[in-house]
Structure 1
């Protein structure tokens, strides 16, 4: 039966230095006192992953259903502007703007709803005020001068606002607000034949948009809220385990000694590929999280930008794991039986890397301080040095293949050390609690 290494902490009450192997009585001595290696069947490990994936999918489906119900509730509430005569007499046909506001503003995450709602409100107010000013000014001029002022104001304001949408910082945070500003300004200017009509139109539209926004915020924040900050936090922590599992599979595949049919089995690096393609989603979640109020463990001015730095480092590590996968499949690699010269040293480094990644991920998930300089970095550096000392000579293409494998493992050591330091910095800024490590 094929086996895959799963690193788990085991508290040994006897204080010995032995690693226990599940499913057998074999024991071997190790210098690692703070973690042990347990072996489980590949089929059993896959079954666990499938069950976890099914549970996550079910949870996400439930969240989507709740979000759909919330949107339906919001639309019912704003529809009362049309159905109730007292409200309809106040806003008239502009009640449609409240419905439009709910449709375009209500997002899955509370931070996204707040972001779009505030952007829409500010864009409407500023665009409406400038539009009213331009319309009133044009109304004071006779004949073609009025049309000339309207045309010039539309050209200058719209061109300047459109250019600002191309600035990366504005596009990332305020693109929707600028778009609403352009729309509102043009609608108010063009429709402003008389000053009193312009003011009445702007007041009614702003009123209905405010009603729609208030309904969205009330339901989004108070009825089973979905926080972008929580999603970014949990997804960042989960990426560590994805990379650790992919690395674990690569190590097992490389040192597998089996018949030809079984040796064709390949390690699953889909988790690393998912991490590589997560940048845009992370940036969106971080942007939405900055708009969210204090909730749960996350207060005001929480360092969400640190999550983006950690995500970038994770993508570099994921790319290295994928490169390791390509190295394994290279024709320059020696036969599985010839790889024993580096097996012990590489497995020690790999096991330490997997353990370190999962420890760092747990540190983020539980918001516990990860002291990289005291616990993780010295261990990784020691393993890296041992790995280099055990494979210094390259005399053949097969030696080159193994040297490449060793080089990539050592590169991962450097990247995991960087990750541990970044997570430690996040913990210091965000006020993570102290986490006790076994010595």
Structure 2
């Protein structure tokens, strides 16, 4: 009778393999945790590596003998200068600066060349006179253009480069005979530096301003929702414990304050995002101006929520019984307001259309109804004035949220978000 041999694995060996796998997984957990908690630092390191790589690439021009002899030492430095000046942290900022530098260089160099040639045709004392008049007119007109808000916001750097290039080219034409050749070589170096910057910025771990403004906008909704819950919980927590000390919700307070000072950063990110090409979930004509409008409403909402913080100091007054009577409807209303904020933020995060009327509006109406019932209670006395201020602040938050919901709904329609 044939016998069958069944191999039996060594129990200790199997246990050792499992132990080895667990050890490997445990060893990876600090790395994963570090990456998740230090995303900004990693982005900065990547940016530094990209800038260093771009400088190495553009400096190699000096080691190509034929090319170096053609452009010369002075003109070769313009490529390095271009990389140093226009390479920014975000891809959109690099594109915007590069575009501004290119247009400013071409226009300034072209008009400066015309002024130099025209001055050379006149000759004698008329040559510096023609150049001087052209410098005065171009410099004054360009400086006036820099004072116009719309031009300053997007094209200030380009206008500044125009002034600089016009001056360099036109003044060089007073002494140099081969000004056309110098302008051509410098433009070639600038184009080369620009091309290296764009390729390095866009094709190697690009850092998109559009992703940052989108994600920061979503996080603001969550921060405001947590702030409403934090202030409300703190206000009524004192009611339940007479001996407890008032501890302000510092995190909620700071998140609202930081939001109030975020206007300049939001405007910069929106401006950079407009320059970025199609990528991922963002198209060429994404309505970035809507993000700016939503940011303004969020800042107004943050200021309104901060008014709740002033009610915490007045909550030490001996009105526990009256506050207890309004605790339940106020907490329910605050919960509805926080839910609305999170729902709006979630719709932007998942890029789905927010249907304000069937979902958001009924919840806000219910919150305002609860708060109105509280105001119709026993808050018309002098003792209840401080409590009435707290309730009124919540009602103002509900009013602001109605306008915010409409803005988010319009964003979904303009951006073509999914309906589901």
Do both proteins adopt the same fold according to a TM-score greater than 0.5, normalized to the shorter chain? yes
d(CA) in 2 for partners of 1:54 and 1:410? 42
Tell me which of 259, 281, 290 is aligned to 2:274: 290
Over 3 Å counting, the alpha-carbon distance change for 1:235 and 1:168 in structure 2 is same
How do residues 6-405 of structure 1 correspond to structure 2 at under 5 angstroms?
Answer: 58-93=38-73, 94-193=75-174, 196-256=177-237, 257-268=240-251, 269-330=253-314, 334-392=318-376, 393-405=378-390
d(CA) in 1 for partners of 2:358 and 2:168? 62
- Contact kept, 8 Å, 2:330 with 2:370, in 1: the verdict is no
d(CA) in 1 for partners of 2:318 and 2:111? 73
Over 3 Å counting, the alpha-carbon distance change for 1:417 and 1:55 in structure 2 is farther
- Contact kept, 8 Å, 2:210 with 2:269, in 1: the verdict is yes
The residue aligned with 1:10 is none
Deviation larger for 165-174 or 324-333: 324-333
d(CA) in 2 for partners of 1:300 and 1:333? 57
In structure 1, list runs of 5 or more residues that go unmatched.
1-52
- Cα deviation, residue 354, structure 1: 0.7
- Cα deviation, residue 55, structure 1: 6.6
Structure with greater strand percent: 1
- Contact kept, 8 Å, 2:379 with 2:385, in 1: the verdict is yes
Q: Secondary structure at the match of 1:248?
A: helix
Q: Secondary structure at the match of 1:398?
A: coil
Instruction: Give a deviation string over 1:402-437, Cα, whole Å, max 9, x none.
Output: 1111111011011111111111111111111123xx
Q: Secondary structure at the match of 1:396?
A: coil
d(CA) in 2 for partners of 1:111 and 1:265? 40
- Cα deviation, residue 238, structure 1: 0.7
d(CA) in 2 for partners of 1:206 and 1:142? 27
Tell me which of 394, 410, 416 is aligned to 1:425: 410
- Cα deviation, residue 287, structure 1: 0.8
Instruction: Give a deviation string over 1:281-304, Cα, whole Å, max 9, x none.
Output: 111111111111100000111100
Over 3 Å counting, the alpha-carbon distance change for 1:334 and 1:433 in structure 2 is farther
Rg larger in structure: 2
d(CA) in 2 for partners of 1:146 and 1:397? 83
- Cα deviation, residue 258, structure 1: 2.2
- Contact kept, 8 Å, 2:235 with 2:315, in 1: the verdict is no
Structure with greater helix percent: 2
The residue aligned with 1:410 is 395
- Cα deviation, residue 401, structure 1: 0.7
d(CA) in 1 for partners of 2:325 and 2:36? 41
For this pair of structures, how many residues does the alignment match? Answer: 383
- Cα deviation, residue 362, structure 1: 0.9
- Contact kept, 8 Å, 2:209 with 2:273, in 1: the verdict is yes
d(CA) in 2 for partners of 1:220 and 1:196? 38
- Contact kept, 8 Å, 1:267 with 1:325, in 2: the verdict is no
d(CA) in 1 for partners of 2:124 and 2:316? 83
Over 3 Å counting, the alpha-carbon distance change for 1:68 and 1:337 in structure 2 is farther
- Contact kept, 8 Å, 1:123 with 1:181, in 2: the verdict is yes
d(CA) in 2 for partners of 1:184 and 1:115? 18
Q: Secondary structure at the match of 1:74?
A: helix
- Contact kept, 8 Å, 1:120 with 1:177, in 2: the verdict is yes
d(CA) in 1 for partners of 2:317 and 2:295? 32
d(CA) in 2 for partners of 1:417 and 1:142? 70
d(CA) in 2 for partners of 1:54 and 1:144? 69
